[in-house]
């Protein structure tokens, strides 16, 4: 298919797209106070398909006021955990029952392949179900000194949580923050990414149907420098959970500092996948192909640097490049598509600029441009560079697209130095059948998460987060509960008060 008209005719447009995307504040949809809007683009055509309300400080102020009122006066923070759990389970049921529709809209808005968007919709339901169960099972510490003292921990919701989410897998990542924030009794203001506001607009109807009280959930669309900045700086928002670029995380850190806000930030990554000569090469190739090209390569945990022991390096590169060339690039709505369209022309230009840089730094062995038949839209062939030096920009900098750098190593020590030789530290993948090496090497890697002989398969109970420039704090399981609650220590004297005596000496 090379004719542009034929290409556009083949584009799937979901039925029932909204005429506009609005904010949702205190139980009602609303435009911006100043009436401003911004364009939302279809990644396949780069044409505007809807306009969204562009939130500013005034809109954030209204949303925070509603959330604060729902927290101080409403029933949600005072409900029993079991009662909140029932609402969260209803949310999960609704999301699960509408997974096909959610995936269709998410795929259209973000360019994700439909089969992968469907998996993300189902994961969103599972996130709510997980925290619905966890909050009921939550147990807090108690310490006894028999006959003298009893001490216990009283967990309390903190208040209004500001949630700022990215444009890659937006609906699922929103659920990842909304689930624990709501389960613990907080109220929220969500600021979704401006590139992908469509699926976020669905939360309001889902929450209303599930019985979430008015004002507990609020949504303000807009640019990060406007709506996001106002949310971070708002004095009545004690918590900010952010997922996005490391540079943006630094700005948020600085802007939140005067208010001493609680921060949870999952930032960028340039994760290594280390393949030793004794590994199962077929499994390693399959996993590392999926690990960097799934979700269009727009994933923070992508294993975008592959380090391969020299004795198997040539074979690995040859097989990897051949398999990358067979990855199916296509329309996001096509079930056969494995790599769809990048989210936005601005991001497409960034990825393509890195590909051009890579051509001057390393050996191109697969991809390197547009796929045949896709003259418009944000389509990129899976791109593989070999013989990449550790000082190369494509080795050091996060590209966030379907681009991978492969580098040889000779010793375990060299592999570790290469793995740790970037500013990021989110994830790592290690492929070896040597048990001692597997554990020692994994523990020496500077990464918040390591997978051994495995693709990115995550247990929701485990901590998710990075080190170095990849983040601050952890989410997942009880770590999320810790972030969204205050832990108040209560001390009770059971016997005579043990008070030092001051001021009773005779005059």
List active site positions: 266, 300
The neighbour count for residue 456, using CB atoms within 10 Å, is 17
Q: How far apart are CA 16 and CA 336, in angstroms?
A: 24
- How distant is the alpha carbon of residue 361 from its chain centre? 30
* CB-count exposure of residue 36 (10 Å: 0-12, 13-18, 19+): middle
Specify which residues 151 forms β-bridges with: 143, 491
Which of 382, 383, 379 has the alpha carbon at shortest distance from 4?
Answer: 379
Tokens 């989210």 correspond to what residue?
A: 343
Backbone torsions φ then ψ of 339, nearest 5 degrees: -130, 125
Classify 504 as helix, strand or coil: coil
Helix axes 99-110, 81-97, angle to 10 degrees: 70
Q: How far apart are CA 470 and CA 458, in angstroms?
A: 18
Q: How far apart are CA 162 and CA 435, in angstroms?
A: 43
Calculate ∠ Cα 250-256-259, nearest 5°: 155
3-state secondary structure string across 25-44: ECCEEECCCCCCEEEEECCC
Q: What share of the chain is helix, strand, coil (3-state, %, to 5)?
A: 40, 20, 40
Helix axes 310-325, 281-293, angle to 10 degrees: 50
Which of 455, 459, 461, 390 has the alpha carbon at shortest distance from 427?
Answer: 455
Whether the CA torsion 234, 240, 242, 247 is positive or negative: it is: positive
Which of 365, 407, 415 has the alpha carbon at shortest distance from 388?
Answer: 407
Classify 242 as helix, strand or coil: strand
The structure tokens listed for 443 are 């523990």
Q: What is the DSSP letter of 475?
A: B
């Amino acid at each position: 298919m090379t004719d542009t008209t034929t290409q556009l005719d083949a584009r799937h447009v979901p039925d029932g797209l909204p005429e506009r995307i609005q904010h949702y504040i205190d139980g009602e949809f609303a435009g911006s106070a100043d009436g401003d809007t911004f364009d939302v683009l279809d990644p396949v055509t780069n044409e505007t398909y809807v306009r969204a309300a562009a939130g500013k400080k005034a809109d954030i102020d209204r949303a925070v006021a509603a959330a604060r009122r729902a927290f101080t006066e409403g029933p949600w923070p005072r409900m029993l955990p079991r009662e909140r759990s029932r609402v969260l389970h209803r949310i999960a049921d609704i999301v699960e029952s509408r997974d096909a529709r959610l995936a269709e809209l998410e795929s259209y808005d973000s360019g994700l392949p439909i089969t992968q968007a469907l998996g993300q919709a189902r994961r969103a339901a599972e996130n709510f179900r997980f925290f619905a169960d966890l909050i009921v099972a939550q147990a807090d510490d108690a310490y006894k000194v028999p006959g003298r003292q009893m001490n216990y921990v009283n967990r309390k919701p903190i208040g209004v949580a500001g949630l700022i989410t990215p444009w890659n897998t937006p609906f699922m990542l929103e659920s990842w923050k909304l689930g624990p924030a709501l389960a613990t009794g907080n109220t929220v203001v969500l600021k979704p990414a401006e590139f992908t506001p469509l699926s976020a607009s669905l939360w309001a109807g889902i929450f209303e149907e599930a019985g979430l009280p008015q004002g507990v959930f609020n949504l303000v669309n807009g640019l990060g420098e406007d709506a996001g900045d106002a949310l971070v700086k708002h004095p009545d928002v004690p918590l900010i959970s952010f997922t996005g670029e490391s540079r943006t995380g630094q700005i948020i850190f600085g802007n939140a500092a005067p208010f001493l806000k609680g921060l949870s930030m999952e930032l960028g990554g340039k994760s290594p996948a280390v393949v030793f000569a004794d590994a199962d090469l077929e499994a390693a190739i399959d996993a590392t192909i999926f690990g960097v090209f799934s979700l269009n390569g727009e994933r923070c945990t992508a294993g975008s640097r592959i380090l391969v022991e020299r004795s198997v390096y040539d074979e690995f590169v040859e097989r990897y490049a051949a398999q990358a060339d067979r990855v199916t690039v296509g329309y996001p709505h096509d079930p056969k598509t494995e790599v769809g369209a990048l989210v936005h022309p601005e991001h497409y230009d960034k990825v393509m600029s890195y590909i051009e840089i890579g051509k001057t730094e390393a050996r191109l062995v697969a991809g390197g441009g547009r796929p045949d038949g896709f003259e418009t839209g944000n389509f990129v062939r899976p791109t593989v560079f070999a013989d990449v030096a550790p000082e190369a920009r494509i080795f050091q900098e996060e590209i966030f697209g379907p681009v991978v750098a492969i580098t040889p190593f000779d010793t375990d020590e060299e592999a570790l130095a290469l793995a740790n030789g970037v500013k990021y530290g989110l994830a790592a993948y290690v492929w070896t059948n040597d048990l001692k090496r597997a554990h020692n090497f994994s523990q020496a890697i500077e990464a918040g998460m390591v997978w051994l002989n495995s693709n990115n398969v995550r247990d929701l109970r485990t901590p998710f987060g990075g080190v170095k420039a990849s983040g601050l704090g952890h989410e997942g399981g009880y770590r999320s509960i810790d972030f969204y609650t205050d832990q108040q220590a209560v001390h009770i004297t059971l016997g005579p008060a043990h008070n030092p005596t001051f001021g009773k000496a005779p005059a």
